[in-house]
Amino acid sequence: MIKSPKNLNLFTIRFPVPAMVSILHRVSGVVLFVFMPLLTISLYWSTRNEAIFHLILAVFDTTLLKIIKTLMIWGIIHHLIAGTRHIMLDLHYGMDLIVARFTSKIVLIISFIMTFFVGFWLW
């Protein structure tokens, strides 16, 4: 007889670090997919005339848009680093459990440190 899982609450399950990096890689892709049209449309309209350009600069200087910009910076950085890690795993480099855990921690550390510095520079 097969035992069914006891705990189905996803908020109480402790995922290993490589699983969290993989989930965050997907989240960062969604963040980029959702917010990239905002940047593209803003870039398009900012090239129309000088008044719209200054309006867009003023809008992007608000706190909400600064948070969104910081989130997008994290998305780009994390997606790039975690994606590189996933490519290396697809090529069978770093498949050992110890190496996989180590590279997962490195991805998290580097992405948050780089986001902090770039986000600090933008604010």
Is 14 inside a domain boundary? no
Is 3 inside a domain boundary? no
Stretch 15-34: mean pLDDT: 94
- Kindly tell me if the per-residue pLDDT of 5 is higher than 80: no
Question: CATH code at 82?
Answer: 1.20.1300.10
Spatial CB neighbours of 6, under 8 Å, sequence gap ≥ 6: none
Is 2 inside a domain boundary? no
Is 8 inside a domain boundary? no
Is 110 inside a domain boundary? yes
Domain count, the chain: 1
Q: 43 lies in which domain range?
A: 30-122
**Could you read off the pLDDT of 56-95 as tens digits, one per residue?**
999 999 999 999 999 999 999 999 999 999 999 999 999 9
The three-state secondary structure class of 119 is helix
Q: What is the pTM of this model?
A: 0.83
What is residue 11's predicted lDDT score, i.e. its pLDDT?
A: 80
